[in-house]
Amino acid sequence: MLTETMNTLLQQRIETLYQLAEAYYLSSFPKPEIKMNLRGETAGQAYLQRNIIRFNAILLKENTSHFLKHTVAHEVAHLIAFQYYGKNIQPHGMQWQWIMKTVFSIPADRCHNYNTANAAVRPFLYQCQCKNKIIRFSSTRHKRVQQGTIYQCRTCKNPIVEIISDQPSCQ
């Protein structure tokens, strides 16, 4: 959850970017729905058809200045490019790059280099009984195990069992 101040900064940044785009293109654009429910190593995602942007709250908190300037602009540029140029453009193509460089005056970088240690989704560790081989399960597969699904080792056909750990990183 974001603090009220952080949320205000995010909303102000989005509004500023839309004002820049509207002044440049002499057109109005529908404002997106903003969700702060993105997890893992991805900083932001734009859903073009639904006009939604999802942001990673942990990465925003840990990289506030850069995130607000670059990541927010990156995702808003996706929506503006889609809404102005249409659906037949490349995600990071020349239209998106033009918006980033010319309209927003931001380098058109595709990827971030944030430290994602606190944001990364940690795997659930399981083990086969025959080889003591550690197997990483996604949260989806882990949830299925909790609901009764049994996964078997391909070698020995024994059930693959969760490694119970006291470390919070495995939760």
> Domains of the chain: which residue ranges?
4-103, 124-170
pLDDT score for 21: 99
Superfamily of structural domain 4-103: Metalloproteases ("zincins"), catalytic domain (3.30.2010.10)
Taking all residues of the chain, what is their mean pLDDT, rounded to a whole number? 89
> How do residues 10-22 score in pLDDT, each as one tens digit?
999 999 999 999 9
Higher pLDDT, 30 or 158: 30
- Positions marked catalytic: 75
- CB contact set of 153 (below 8 Å; sequence gap of 6+): 128, 129, 130, 131, 159, 160
pTM: 0.73
- CB contact set of 58 (below 8 Å; sequence gap of 6+): 118, 119
